[in-house]
Amino acid sequence: MRIDPRHLRKAEEIFINGEEFDDERREFINHMNTVDLLAVPGSGKTTALLAKLYCLAKNMPLEANQGVLVLSHTNHAIEEIEKVLKPLCPQLFTYPNFVGTLQSFANKFIANQACFELYGSYIHKNDDEMYFYEVGRFFGSLVYSGKGIQPSNLKNKLFGLVNRDFVGSSREKENNILDFLKNCSYDFEGRKIKIGNTSKLTYSGVNRNYYLELESWKLGLLSQGILSYKDSFDISKRYLSLPGSIDLKAILQHRFKYVFIDEMQDLDFDQVQLIESIFFTEDSGTVIQRIGDRNQAIYSTSSLNSEVVWQTRSEIYPERFESDLSLSNSHRLTPIIGSLVDGFVLNRNEGYKVVGCSNRDSIAPHLLIYEDESEADKLKEKYISLIKHYGLEQDPKNVERGFHIIAWTTDKEEGSEKWHLRKLFPEYSRESKQKKEDFDCLRKYLFLFDRNKKTFESVRKSILNGIIRILRIENINLSEDLPRKFRKSTFVQLIRSKGNGYYENFKIRLYAWCYSIVVEEDYEVVFNDYSSFIVNDLADLIPGFRIINSGGFINKDFDFNSAEIVENNDLGQKTDLLIKLGSVHSVKGQTHCATMYVETDYHTSEIAKLTVFVKGTRKRPDFIGKNPLFFQEQDFSHLNKVRSNETLKMMYVGFSRPTDLLCFAVRKENVEHDLELFAEAGWNIVPVSD
């Protein structure tokens, strides 16, 4: 198949105002075979992908009525694709095509059926929050064996196995066990449990009671349809390894002629392996194009630290794939910011270079220096003054892109000495920015719903989710004869079964809650009636229901008034500018007008992880190795590899967001010995107290 030049020209009119795609983008758009595309930040890869999908949609139906599969790691990326393309080519979002996240693809086409056939239940809850709650409840039920006690010895065994080489407090060791239970994989055929992507086995033993108890607990969750996100891929891989799965693979290969994976660097090992096992086989006719930037791999823990999850086709099969495609020109970044960002490149394939080619006025990066949290207001004011100094707020396009303050570490436990975003800006609320269905207290269900929805749908859904969470905590099933957990739909069916009058009264009450929350913002009034319904009415509705385990969950405090102020994480109440707060993770993929990256402590500060200390004194970095903060291609062979690698990726993502102004906010104690080096490299040095 070839891309029709007429369709490509129309795509240029739609997506880039009639200008022409450059040679790099045209090569990708016209390439119709399996290939990997490596793209620098701001290179327009998403726009090029949208143009390619548009051109493909104009040729639908494809030969043999085959379809296109478009996948990404996050809902946000998929929503952006839908927002742009659905009005232009709705056929792309109907059978035989599919546009969605890796998670939704795995669940829809494999995991849901796998869960039913392997464990007897369709997926009921595929959510880490709920799964981690179940992990905590299970671990809390275990007891250490001792004199006069004859349990399975599981807790003792876990304590020893997980913490074999770990030195720390008992609390830290128990947290390690919880992390193990949350992230381990189960090989039910081999009766083994393992961690990570290697074959390293933590332990196994079908004849050992502690193993059998852990396996029984896991199977119990699966039989109820309670899965972590990771479980979806684990059971999908298990299902596809069965003899009959070859038919499913053939069906999927026949249905999808083209597979496009955006933000490929964000996929975990299990996700990569799942897609490869389905579509990248010897007899597959499916074309797979994987798109992304390995230097922006900050979601996967293994990728962030050191392991390269995404190896390109030409790296693995050089005899079959001579070279990968690349987009090196960044239309977002100015030459000076592009030069700075290029120094943070960790994985540099041949020809890969960040080239800032924006024709906007080139503003040098600014190093904002402050003493401590007492100067947080001055730091914010200085950032705003710089935005106004350059007149950035006068362009509506700049205002649309936004002015952001971001950090690697956004929060820490109360009283922690580590530096984090909320230490400077207490109004930051990480949770209010997330689209979640389950929370750690009942009050949050009335506030942390999806406010982008223009109807009562999202708050209604959240209210019902809160009720379902209570029923789960109290271990209430549909019936004694049917040990299945309630869902929103089955709970509403139960209401209906009580008669039309009861059902109508409940609908009126539910509507009143929604209206009072969204329109009148009477959160506390609604909570009192809502919690009263749960404590009193559910006892009449469900025989045997009592509040035994969920009292703390119901009564746990959440300050509606304080949360209301920070719903948009905005620092612009006292100014005419909206300054948005967020993590580096939350802004990945975004384009800002101005970005202030605040240095924080993830183990230690970013500067500390890029600098060598000898006998308590900082050595000048240019004497011992190149440092990207000084516009040099990094050389950290002398540093902790894991810490320096993760720092490079995080700063690469954070520094590559703005079209105009980049600020780096640092504590004076971290840079006072190197200010001359920063100035010589091209930074504008700005003490916020001046």
Residue 687 burial by CB count (10 A; 0-12/13-18/19+): exposed, middle or buried? middle
Give me the pLDDT at residue 629, please: 92
Considering the chain, what percentage of its residues have pLDDT values greater than 90? Answer: 49
Nearest to 293 by CA among 33, 674, 38, 548: 38
DSSP annotation of 327 reads: E
Question: What does the pLDDT average to over 565-592?
Answer: 72
In a shared domain, residues 99 and 149: no
**Is there a domain that residue 356 lies in?**
no
User: For residues 418 and 412, is the Cβ–Cβ distance under 8 A?
Assistant: yes
Q: Which of 54-63, 472-481, 561-570 has the highest mean pLDDT?
A: 54-63
Q: Which residue among 280, 305, 327 closes a domain?
A: 327
- What is the structure's pLDDT at 533? 93
* Residue 229 placed within a domain: no
Nearest CA to 102 out of 69, 145, 58 is that of: 69
Cα–Cα distance, 590 to 653 (Å, whole number): 10
Place of tokens 């060791």: 173
Give the Cα separation of 36 and 276 in Å (integer).
13
Torsion angles phi and psi, residue 595, rounded to 5: -135, 130
The one-character DSSP state at 672 is T
Looking at the fold, whether 54 and 130 belong to one and the same domain comes out as no
Helix (H, G, I), strand (E, B) or coil at 622: helix
CB atoms within 10 A of CB 540: 10
Same domain, 437 and 536: yes
pLDDT at residue 446 is higher than 70: yes
Q: Which of 624, 574, 583 is nearest to 602 (CA)?
A: 583
Domain boundary among 311, 327, 343: 327
For 190, the token pair is: 């081999």
Higher pLDDT, 429 or 418: 418
> Any residues with CB less than 8 A from the CB of 571 and at least 6 apart, and which?
380, 405, 425, 427, 579, 580, 581
**What is the per-residue pLDDT across 72-123, written as a single tens digit (0 to 9) for each?**
988 888 988 999 999 999 999 999 999 999 999 999 999 999 999 999 999 9
Residues, the chain: 690
Q: What is the mean pLDDT of the chain?
A: 85
- Does residue 395 sit in the same domain as residue 449? no
Report, as an integer, the average pLDDT of 233-239.
92
Q: Is the peptide bond before 335 cis (omega within 30 degrees of 0)?
A: no
Residue 532 or 186, more confident:
532
Q: CA torsion 158→161→162→163, rounded to 10°?
A: 110
182 and 272 share one domain: no
Q: Look-up: residue for tokens 């090196």?
A: 328
- Claim to verify: residue 143 and residue 104 sit in the same structural domain: no
* Confidence check: pLDDT of 526 > 60: yes
Asked whether residue 230 is domain-assigned, the answer is no
User: Whole-prediction pTM value?
Assistant: 0.77
Residues 530 and 455 in one domain: yes
pLDDT beyond 80 at 502: yes
Instruction: List the end-to-end C-alpha distance of the chain, in Å, as a whole number.
Output: 63
> Is there a domain that residue 355 lies in?
no
Say if residue 306's pLDDT is above 80. Answer: no
Residue with more model confidence, 367 or 633: 367
Give, as one character, the DSSP assignment of residue 426: T
User: Where residue 393 sits, what CATH number does that domain have?
Assistant: 3.40.50
Would the pLDDT of 249 be above 50?
Answer: yes
- Mark whether 133 and 85 lie in a shared domain: no
* 91 is a domain residue: yes
Name the domain count of the chain. Answer: 4
- 93 and 141 assigned to the same domain: no
CB 345 within 8 A of CB 296: no
Tokens of 463: 């209210």
Given a cut of 60, is residue 404 above it in pLDDT?
yes
Tokens representing 446 are 């009335």
pLDDT for residue 545 is more than 50: yes
275 contacts 259 by C-beta, under 8 angstroms? yes
DSSP 151-219: S--HHHHHHHHHTTT--S-HHHHHHHHHHHHHH-EEETTTTEEE-SSSS-EEEE-TT-HHHHHHHHHHH
Q: What is the Cα–Cα distance from 204 to 190, expressed in whole angstroms?
A: 8
Identify whether 133 is part of a domain. yes
The pLDDT of residue 73: 87
- Domain carrying residue 147: 125-224
With a cut of 60, say whether residue 534 has pLDDT above it.
yes
Structure tokens at 163: 């913490």
- The pLDDT value given to residue 623: 39
Top-confidence residue, 454 or 632: 632
- Residue 270 located in a structural domain: yes
Q: What is the CATH number of the domain that holds 281?
A: 3.40.50.300
Share of the chain above pLDDT 70, in %: 88
Q: Are residues 453 and 501 in the same domain?
A: yes
**Radius of gyration of the CA atoms of the chain, in A:** 27
212 and 241 belong to one structural domain = no
Single residue among 508, 536, 565 that ends a domain in this structure: 565
Q: Is residue 385 part of a domain?
A: yes
Identify the pLDDT of residue 199. 47
Residue listed under structure tokens 């916020």 = 688
Q: CB of 196 within 8 A of CB of 302?
A: yes
* Contacts with 598 (C-beta within 8 Å, 6 or more apart), sequence order: 405, 406, 407, 421, 424, 665
Instruction: For residues 132 and 249, state if they share a domain.
Output: no
Residue-by-residue DSSP string for 532-577: HIIIIIHHHHSTT---SS-HHHHH----HHHHHHTTT-B--TTSSS
| The two three-digit tokens of residue 175, written as one number | 């947290």
